[in-house]
Structure 1
């Protein structure tokens, strides 16, 4: 068989890391079975070669030569294993197996956590439901280092590990934990030190007056030392019986004490006295108590008792009993009721006598036991109570039986009637304990029919021959106003004790069924049935509507309703008017300008709407919002030009839509621009404002541009002949300007209106 080979991989405790250069302590190739391994400074990994094993064989191999199948905890370890181990077509077994349906690391007994899972894609798939063991892919082209569940009977390489921790480490007083390149001891409670060799020490116990027996498994009064305490006979321990030294260096309890055993506190017997002596304390071990009784009573039991070491008293508790009288018994047909102060039928006992139901006591009602042991009075007796003598009813017979004497308690008499009559009353009567007969005296009456009663909402009128509602009686039925009789109007009592016909009844007269008005509601109360006599129906309207007509109607005895059918009309409010210079468009759901109506508003060109664009008629008969109006659009305010005047007319307000303004200039000045401006719907003036320029400057401009060509000034085309005319006009205006002065008739002081200026020029 070929020699096996193995690669040793360094591991660090439970968080395994890769080895680094210089960390190996030595390498030795050893032929051992079928393995070759590399020794390192801490945890080492091993694998079998060339042999292949089932999972169980692989684990047995690892446990035989090493510690167990490998338990993998992190990705870094997986990368190292994948890099270091040789490729094998059947891959390697690891120490992960499904136990009880849970994937478990067999070496540690811990379940595989979710975050530590390293399954290959689509695994575990448990194909054929028998894949309970796990292999690791080493140097596989895909999914390298990943796990796959496999049937445990397949053969693969065994991947093992050897731990640094050994059973003899940590002095068997702690848990060996793998660390980087070494191990450390986590000491069990009560131990400490690097190898857990030191033990925790508790304070030395020194009880006073309490015997103590101790055992020390490690050192005197150290961890797990136990001390047992016992008290002498007649004394009991107060506190724990055994103290143990805890890992906290404290004892499990305080040192106990010994106290004398306590007996129950004794008290003097009723009608007696108690006298005690105490050695250790009141009613404790060694105490003795003596008993005695008052005069007239005798002591029953021991005269003294002693408190023993077990906390009990010797003997039974004594008692003082009163002197007894002879036992009394109840009289025949009677009862005895006694009250005993000191015992049955003893001094002070009192017995009351009574008789059974139907009997009366003859003699004393009670007797008392005296101090001499005899009863007061004589024994009483009970006699049956008598009832009055009975006689047979008219047209009837009487038959009696007597238990205790004629017509006494318990006597019973039966009654019967002659043919054609029926017994009215009890068929028998019995003499009661009160001396009266049960029931009333019976009588023989003619056969009766069931008592008739007037139908509801009706009346009954009867005539009787032999008594009310008996054979021959005749009854007529009628109904109250608003009700009609259904059935026969009269019945007669027959010899069989039955009435002819069925019992009639009264039904309320019906009115036509009412309906709620449109846009309204109907709420009815019915006394005798839906829409019958006495029914009342109330009418109401929905929100925004008002009831027109009676608000309620009642069904009368004639089958008609009071009043006329009401209707619901929509609530009205005042009609809205169209704003000046605007338009309105209204929609009406229930009528012109009623609840639900809506009006929308708009303005003509040159005007803007002020207020809500629409208003709704509410259920209160009011309109939403405030009234709207159309306001003329404003243009910028104009000012008169320098050396000129301004005259404006306003149709809808100062400098608003359709306002017009006319400009003029003083004498010697000529207007440059439009004479009249108008405010447009856009809020702008039709032209820019004109200016006033001097006439001379104007003439010069005319002459400057008149050299044989046409000249356009202020919208005019001037020819050579017109220039001479303008020159003369300028000369004339200059003369007039000197003669004319401003007057208040023509406008404001110092100004001319256009019309005045033009007239003077």
Structure 2
């Protein structure tokens, strides 16, 4: 039976990082023959490693020890206001880019180390991080905003209403006075809040039959003005005792009413610095409630809570006010760069209101009208007055100019002194040497 006699190796295979060179078609490879390899594009020779393979007696090419390694790209560098995630920089590796919050990537988010110009390099230009821009804030009728040099992420603008001639009804700002440049899910710049409105708001002078105002006295009322009511003896309150003038020229919640108390009923106990449980508008004869003093206050006998029973004809078995320490009489809160313009008193009782405004160049952060709730606490909290954005910008410009002038003066003085030393007449030592 015929058989095939093999007296050499098969042609050497191509490796991932190298390939044989100088081979001829039909070339044989007897035992002991050697083939040279050359590194493929993207790879380079490892120093000291022979790039050859030999056909062995077993008709197999000698085991391959790597003699080529991946070329490396230079590090992409730093990405200002961003982050670079990169591997070992070798041929085929990738680098990815992302930006800090408030910035967006302009350009590609990923580059690869590829063969280029007989070496390796990155396949695309590097991107950069751009601070997210917003368009100029829209104008509003009868109002204006604090302008800025440009409008980018976190830039704040504050709207105020225009002044009106003396004797005319003023405009009230409805909505958030300050809006910020922020971004949507696609990193497009948008403004944080709906635009406020400037409009004339006038609520009528509220009156409650069989009741009276206990705070918020006035002949005219505008946006966010509040009034508090109390019923006359023998009547109980239905609704909220505090109402506020809303943007639609109506009171919110609606004005309360005072209903006559029946002979077999009682109105809610009126307790200073205390709360009634359960809280109802009217109670039947024989019905009991629990009265608790607020923290820091007690009844005259030293207890913090009592139970009292309706005896009819609006009389309770026990009805004493809670007495509090000195802190229960509130004092006017200190407002840096602002002042109280309405409701200021030497001391305050629970339920009193004050109204606050900031000095020119400052913006109010918080509610302008706050209410005293005891223990020298105000709700929703004492607001603060902070520098407006345009004032901060002016200060920054002034500081920059001062620093520049100081640096210029120091620079000029230094070189002036050096010039004087160089032009000084020759010294005695120089004269002696010359002589």
TM range (shorter): 0.3 to 0.5
Work out which structure has the larger RCO, using CA pairs closer than 8 Å and 6 or more positions apart in sequence: 2
Larger radius of gyration: 1
TM (norm. structure 2) is: 0.34
Q: Quick check: which one's strand share is greater? A: 2
